[in-house]
Amino acid sequence: MATVAASVETICRLLPREDRPDPPLAVLDELVGTVLSQHTSDHNSDRAFASLQRRFPSWEAVVAADLAQVADSIRCGGLAERKAATIQSLLREIERREERLDLERLRQLADREVESYLTSLPGVGPKTAACVLLFALGRPVLPVDTHVHRVATRLGWLPGGTTAERAHGLLAAAVPAHLRRDLHLALIAHGRRVCTARRPRCAECVLRRLCPSAGRSG
């Protein structure tokens, strides 16, 4: 893994820097926003989150609403029924445990405690928990979504066939803490624009001289 750690620095320098322009959200807002971001673009998930907030004045109102009303309000983000059900379930569970709809107390907990709490909620997996840790709490974790997983595999950082769960552990061990946020954002952007799933644009890729999969991935 020492070789990986060395090349991580180089690859971070070569990839265009990406950032999220908005200030960090409240923990619960980030959690709901991350659920909405699954299987859709940032643009559509941002629209769905804004629409949900316009339609319902509070998380309590989302819990009290009919499932169909919640689904209608997030239709532009895709998988509306499924996401609406997940959002209502996790809000109900949080309200049951916390006796209110607020997760700001998680800011006082260690990373592992936050991860354990979040992944025990219905519909929340390790990637969603890692996004909340990274973006709402500013913790140095590296969420592994489909783009990060694919690009890291093509770069030779992960053995072929590595599961998402194992990838989290391997990349966490290989990527220095101060690079994780930047690398996460840069790999997602690279996976969307250049190192795409079906036809990676290796000829125009800034990593082609370092990448063992250049010209070979399909």
Residue ranges binding ligand SF4 (CB under 6 A): 151, 154-155, 194-195, 200-202, 205, 207-208, 211, 213-214, 217
Name the nearest CA neighbour of 100 among 88, 90, 91, 110. 91
Smallest separation, CB 179 to ligand SF4 (Å): 17
Any catalytic annotation for residue 127? yes
Choice between 76 and 206, CB closer to ligand SF4 = 206
The answer to whether the beta carbons of residues 200 and 181 sit under 8 Å apart is no
Residue 13 CA to residue 35 CA, distance in Å, equals 30
Catalytic residue among 83, 127, 150, 154: 127
Choice between 137 and 206, CB closer to ligand SF4 = 206
| DSSP, residue by residue, 72-138 | HHTGGGS-HHHHHHHHHHHHHHHHHHHSSS--GGGGGS-HHHHHHHHHTSTT--HHHHHHIIIIIT-
Smallest separation, CB 206 to ligand SF4 (Å): 8
Choice between 164 and 202, CB closer to ligand SF4 = 202
Rounded to the nearest 10 degrees, what angle do helices 146-154 and 164-174 cross at?
Answer: 60
Choice between 149 and 154, CB closer to ligand SF4 = 154
Catalytic residues: 127
